[in-house]
Amino acid sequence: MKEQAAVRKTADDYRAAVAATLAELGIPADYGARRRLELCEEAAELVSIGVDILGREQKLAPRAADAWRGMCAAAEQDAIQLLVVSAFRSFDYQRALIRRKLDNGRDIADILKINAAPGYSEHHTGRALDITAPDCPPLELGFETTGAFTWLTRHAAQHGFRLSYPRDNPHGISYEPWHWAYIG
């Protein structure tokens, strides 16, 4: 089933919403430039890729969804199971996620080591996934020791995916062996 994501009317509207949200959350206006992160607009169209490890429906942009399905099928041929932790996240969801962490007393600098600021998350594009494997806690560095991670490092590029936040990345985001994005 295809669905239209909530898209702001114009690119200028989106940039204005990002700027206002950054100010609201105490994030410097030059965050994107300083972190070498591109502005990520929300996907205009999303399709279901099934449920995540918690049974919640997850969605991706159509081409990313097709590539994900193909990559999962290829992994299964090698006895590897790739599981979705999360996929598309809206701008508003990302804002609420960071707001909750701030409200719980977390420092914005620490939050931004783990989460991209609203407007800069690849999850907005509908082309990014957080992935885990059976018997591996989600969003943990231990994922890099799994057969799934080894398989991804060898084969993900053949399916159009890349690891977004490797060790020592220029974006100031902690190493995330579970975060992969479809780049086509």
Please report, in tens digits, the pLDDT of each residue of the chain (184 residues total).
444 444 456 889 999 999 999 999 999 999 999 999 999 999 999 999 999 999 999 999 999 999 999 999 999 999 999 999 999 999 999 999 999 999 999 999 999 999 999 999 999 999 999 999 998 999 999 999 999 999 999 999 999 999 999 999 999 999 999 999 999 9
Best CA proximity match to 22, nearest among 129, 126, 100, 112: 112
Instruction: Say yes or no: domain 2-182 is CATH 3.30.70.360.
Output: no
CB-based contact 42:128 (threshold 8 Å)? no
What does 15-50 look like in DSSP terms, one character per residue? HHHHHHHHHHHT--TTHHHHHT----PPPS-EEEEE
Contacts of 8 (CB under 8 A, 6+ apart): 14, 17, 42
Q: Is 52 helix (H, G, I), strand (E, B) or coil?
A: coil
Q: Please report the pLDDT score of residue 8 as a whole number.
A: 54
Q: How far is CA 82 from the centre of its chain?
A: 15
Q: Please report the pLDDT score of residue 10 as a whole number.
A: 85
Strand order from edge to edge, sheet including 83-86: 83-86, 128-132, 176-182, 161-165
Please give the C-alpha separations between residue 66 and each of 82, 97, 99, 127, 176, in angstroms, as whole numbers.
15, 28, 33, 11, 23
The structure's pTM equals 0.91
Q: Please report the pLDDT score of residue 2 as a whole number.
A: 47
